[in-house]
Structure formats: structure tokens, C-alpha cells
Amino acid sequence: MNKDDFPILQETIYGKPLVYLDNAATTQKPAQVLEAITYAYTHFNANIHRGVHHLSQIATKAHEDARAKVAEWLHADNPNCIIFTKGTTDSLNMLAFSFGEAHIYEGDEIIIGMQEHHSNIVPWQMLCERKKAKLRVVPLREDLSLDIEAYKQLFNSHTRLVSIAHVSNVLGIVNPIDEIIAFAHQNHVPVCIDAAQSAPHMPLDVQALDCDFLALSAHKAYGPTGLGILYGKEELLKELPPAEGGGEMIEHVSFEKTTFNTLPYKFEAGTPNYIGSYAFAKAIEYLEAIGMKRIYAYETELTRYAEQQLSQIPGVHIYAKGLPKQGVISFNVGNIHPYDVGMLLDKQGIAVRTGHHCAEPLINYLKIPGTVRLSLALYNTKEDIDRFIAALRKAITILT
Ligand code: PMP
């Protein structure tokens, strides 16, 4: 794991070396990814799939190779299960619309968790409003983990889908998705996993997990912005209608009737982000060269170290303290507003996020204005944590 692979990490902020701890929002990009973007625009930029000309064929191959790379990374059984989207939000909206059109009727129920990001709440809520269906929310236990017994109680004959985050972007808690999926399947209910915060940080095997759908964002996994993945089991995707109409997703168009393309193109209306997909494949190659298992082990230890160091500071309240976390820790200091802490950390070159982290229902449940959140990536080190801790101590001295 090498910081030098990430040019932006050499930047200084207010004259101080940057310590970037806002990786749950977006990760920085290794040089390979940055170079891939320039290379693609310089050497083979051409619109894909439609062109007989040379550049278009190279660009098409790069895009389809990238799809195969993502499939291999996620252990999907074939590349047709991989749909390129704009990001996790787009993937979940696409699924909510498409699944909703095919399978949701008045009185049906969709289960989500209390700790979801807005993008795993609002699309389902909008679907429920459209179809007069009902959103059911899994409550949290006192320790802020998902209440799995309560989850099981939510199932009834109207339950049609479960959509749950693998790792909470606020609390860092890793949800027991094996158990969540197994129970849903016992009840013949499919499960969508929001893997925005897990895919970049741990090995994922969609076939072993047996999840039916999975969403992630390339930009949180060292890839470019504006690209995401919706994975779905092929037999399930096949029976869903397209979510958007336009070029690429059609077989034939007439004013009387349009027939749709096969998977995965049926879900990819318009010119796709083929430069992004090419660059994302380079990000995945970078991750694979290190090894997802190694990244997972390294970040787990770093998270444990950060929580341990943080818990030694008087007045710091860590949310979900002691629970197994992956790369994300939320905290507050006494009654100090999280924004003030974040601002004073920033002045010392430390980038963290403050606020509701797009999870307002969770923050309201906790009855707080927000949290300070540090989130780790493979390039962070114990020295980063030590600098963060020293800066936090200084901020607290100023604020109290
Ligand atoms: N789900 C989770 C758990 C997230 O952390 C995020 C991003 N913070 C999203 C969904 C949305 O991702 P994007 O903004 O890339 O679509």
C-alpha cells in the first residue's frame, strides 16, 4: 500500500500535509486511473457499439473488457449481470423503478434498514408512493446494530423486496447480510445490497452471498466519478423492464412499437461512460494487485487503531463503540457542534466529514445535529490517525 501512488495526497492544505479521512464520501485516485483517463481520451475516444470504424471498435472492446473485469472482481457468473450506471444512487433508482414496474402492487411491502443512506431510502419511498405500497424499516438495537429479530418479524405475505446497506456510511457497522439474505430467501423474497461502503474495502462474491441485486459507486472504489454498477442475477434482470428509453437499449424502434435489446444493454440507454468504465477497470486492477483480502485486513486493523486512539480522548462519544466496523467511525465531542470540530480539523490539514451524511432518519433517531465522521482507505496509515488525533486534541482545547 503506497501513498505515492496517489498524486493528490502530496498536496498541502493551508501549508500542512493533507490527511484525507473522507473516503466514505469519495476516494482518491491512483496514478494508473488518472493516466487511463488521459490515455483513453488521447488514443481511442469514439462512441461505442455503433461504429464500424477502428476507434469505435477499440473503445467498445475497452468498455466490454471493463464489464468483464467488474464481473470477475465481484465474482458474478457472467458480464451480462453487470449494468453500468452513474453510481449507487442511479443503480438503486433504476432498480426501484424497474422492479417496481414488474413486481410492486398496492399493499406490497419493501424492507429497508434504519441506518440507510438517503439513496437507499428515497427511491423505495417514491416507488411506494407511486404504487401505494409500504416501506417497512428495520429498527436498531440499543448498541445501534440492526435488530435482526425485528427484521425477521417484518416479513409477511406482502413482503416483496429487502434493500439493505452492507456497511453503514455513518456508523461503519457491517450488517450481517448473509443472515439477512438467507432469511429473505427462506421467504422467497429477493435482496438488494447497497455495497457502496463495502465493495472498495473487502472481498465480495455475489454468488457466494447469493444476493439478488447489488449496487456500488466507482468513485468510492478509487475509480472515476459518474460511474456505478448495478449487479443483478441474470434470470431476475431478464424479467425486469428497462428503466429508461433511448439509444443503445433498443432492438428495433418504430412509432408503433419498440422492442428492447438484450442484457445488459436493455438497462443502458444513451452513450455510456466508456472512458469511466475503462478507468474503473484500472482501479480494480490496482486493487487486485494489492489483494482485497489484504486491504480488508489492513483497514480493519487501522479502524480498530483509530477507534482505540479516539476513545482515549476525554469527552469523545463514539457511536456504535466496540462493534465491528469497516473503515468508518462517527463521533461527537461533548456538546460541541460537529461542524466546529470539522472546521478546526480542516485548518490543520485533516479532511473529515461532518453533518447528517445523507442519513437523516438515523441522525434524527440519535437526536443529534450530526456527527464528525472519519473514513479510511487503503492509503491511510497509523501516522495519519496520530496526526488526526493530535489535531483533534488541539481543536478541543480551542473549543472548550
Ligand atoms: N449508499 C451508501 C451506503 C453511501 O455511502 C453512498 C454515498 N455516500 C451512497 C449510497 C450514494 O452513492 P453515490 O452518491 O455515489 O450515488
* DSSP for 161-229, written as a single string: EEEEESB-TTT-BB--HHHHHHHHHHTT--EEEE-TTTTTTS---HHHHT-SEEEEEGGGGTS-SS-EE
Closest C-alpha residue for ligand 1 atom 12: 88
- Verify whether ligand 1 is closer than 6 Å to residue 119 (CB atom): yes
Task: For residue 116, give the ligand 1 atom closest to its CA.
Answer: 3
Q: Which residue has the cell 423474497?
A: 189
- pLDDT at site 51: 75
Handedness of CA 78, 79, 83, 89 (dihedral sign): positive
358: CA distance to ligand 1 center in Å?
8
353: CA distance to ligand 1 center in Å?
14
Q: Residue 13 pLDDT > 80, yes or no?
A: yes
218-245: average pLDDT: 97
- Verify whether ligand 1 is closer than 6 Å to residue 373 (CB atom): no
Rounded distance, CA 95 to CA 214, Å? Answer: 10
Q: Residue 190 pLDDT > 80, yes or no?
A: yes
- pLDDT at site 66: 98
Q: Are 173 and 141 in contact (CB under 8 A)?
A: no
Q: Residue 50 pLDDT > 80, yes or no?
A: no
User: pLDDT-derived band of residue 52, with 50, 70 and 90 as boundaries?
Assistant: confident
- The closest of 63, 62, 74, 39 to 287, measured between CA atoms, is 74
Closest C-alpha residue for ligand 1 atom 4: 196
By the 10 Å C-beta count (0-12 exposed, 13-18 middle, 19+ buried), 46 is classed as middle
Mean pLDDT across the chain: 97
103: CA distance to ligand 1 center in Å?
25
- pLDDT at site 243: 94
- Verify whether ligand 1 is closer than 6 Å to residue 237 (CB atom): no
- pLDDT at site 41: 98
90: CA distance to ligand 1 center in Å?
10
117: CA distance to ligand 1 center in Å?
7
Q: Is 81 a catalytic site residue?
A: no
User: pLDDT-derived band of residue 49, with 50, 70 and 90 as boundaries?
Assistant: confident
- Verify whether ligand 1 is closer than 6 Å to residue 198 (CB atom): no
232-257: average pLDDT: 94
Strands 213-217 and 191-194, bridge-based pairing: parallel
- Verify whether ligand 1 is closer than 6 Å to residue 116 (CB atom): no
Rounded distance, CA 292 to CA 205, Å? Answer: 11
Ligand 1 mutation pick, 27, 88, 373, max ligand atoms within 8 A of CB: 88
Q: Are 109 and 160 in contact (CB under 8 A)?
A: yes
Tens of pLDDT along 258-306? Answer: 999 999 999 999 999 999 999 999 999 999 999 999 999 999 999 999 9
Ligand 1 mutation pick, 86, 112, 220, max ligand atoms within 8 A of CB: 220
User: On the CB side of 331, how many CA atoms lie within 13 Å of its CA?
Assistant: 26
Rounded distance, CA 109 to CA 160, Å? Answer: 6
Cell of 11: 498536496
- Verify whether ligand 1 is closer than 6 Å to residue 362 (CB atom): no
Cell of 160: 416483496
- pLDDT at site 118: 97
User: What is the reported pTM?
Assistant: 0.98
| E strand segments, the chain | 12-13, 16-17, 19-20, 82-85, 109-113, 134-138, 159-165, 191-194, 213-217, 228-232, 250-253, 258-260, 316-318, 328-333, 350-351, 353-355, 371-375
195: CA distance to ligand 1 center in Å?
9
Cα 259 to Cα 60, 141, 255, 262: the distances in Å are 23, 48, 11, 10
- Verify whether ligand 1 is closer than 6 Å to residue 23 (CB atom): no
Cα 213 to Cα 3, 95, 161: the distances in Å are 33, 8, 10
- Verify whether ligand 1 is closer than 6 Å to residue 93 (CB atom): no
Tens of pLDDT along 167-184? Answer: 999 999 999 999 999 999
- Verify whether ligand 1 is closer than 6 Å to residue 91 (CB atom): no
Tens of pLDDT along 99-154? Answer: 999 999 999 999 999 999 999 999 999 999 999 999 999 999 999 999 999 999 99
